[in-house]
Structure formats: structure tokens, C-alpha cells
């Protein structure tokens, strides 16, 4: 019974983390000269050349604003795919040949 309670508490913690997690990506929109523009953004660690990476996350914009929301969503999908590939590369195994 005690193990069941511990398991239940652990599962509730996982569910609550997913519900209250902060977004990694967003799309900023605004109207300029009667045309709506979309700017994809992602949350990244703050880097300073002399210090390195700081424990602060900031919103980093894409290179330029886009004309449709679909294009901005495609950029965000590309960012997600890049992050997934980086994580897979970190967990890859190597064979050392002498």
C-alpha cells in the first residue's frame, strides 16, 4: 500500500510538471503598413563571451519576420527537430579503433 502511494505521488508530480511547464517557442505578431507579420522566437540560455552561459533564459528571435503564420510554425518545427537531433547525437555511442 505504501509503494502504491509513493507511485501515485510520483505520477501526479509528472502530470503537474507537464501542465505548468513554460513554453520553449512562441510567435510574436504585429501589424506594419496594414500587413500582419510573424516573428518566431525560442527560449535559449543567455551567453556572454567573457563569462560563458548564464543560468538565465531569454527569448531569441529568428532572423527576419515572416508574412504567414504557417511559415513561422515551420521555423519552430525546424528548431524542434534540431534540438531533437542534438540530443540524439549526445547519446550516441562510439567505437574506438586503435
pLDDT 10s digits, 19-71: 567 889 999 999 999 999 999 999 988 888 888 888 899 999 988 999 999 99
Residue-level pLDDT at 94: 76
Res. 1: pLDDT tops 80: no
Name the residue ranges covered by the structural domains of the chain: 21-90
Cell numbers for 45: 540560455
Residue given cell 533564459 in the structure block: 57
| Residue 2: Cβ-neighbour burial (10 angstroms; 0-12, 13-18, 19+) | exposed
Residue 9: per-residue pLDDT: 63
pLDDT confidence of residue 79: 93
**Cell match 527576419: residue?**
64
Amino acid at each position: 500500500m505504501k509503494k502504491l502511494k509513493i507511485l501515485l505521488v510520483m505520477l501526479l508530480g509528472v502530470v503537474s510538471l507537464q501542465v505548468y511547464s513554460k513554453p520553449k517557442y512562441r510567435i510574436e505578431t504585429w501589424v506594419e503598413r496594414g500587413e500582419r507579420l510573424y516573428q518566431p522566437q525560442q527560449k535559449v540560455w543567455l551567453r556572454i563571451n567573457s563569462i560563458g552561459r548564464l543560468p538565465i533564459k531569454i527569448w531569441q528571435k529568428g532572423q527576419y519576420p515572416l508574412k504567414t503564420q504557417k511559415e513561422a510554425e515551420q521555423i519552430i518545427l525546424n528548431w524542434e527537430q534540431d534540438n531533437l537531433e542534438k540530443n540524439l547525437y549526445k547519446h550516441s555511442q562510439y567505437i574506438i579503433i586503435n
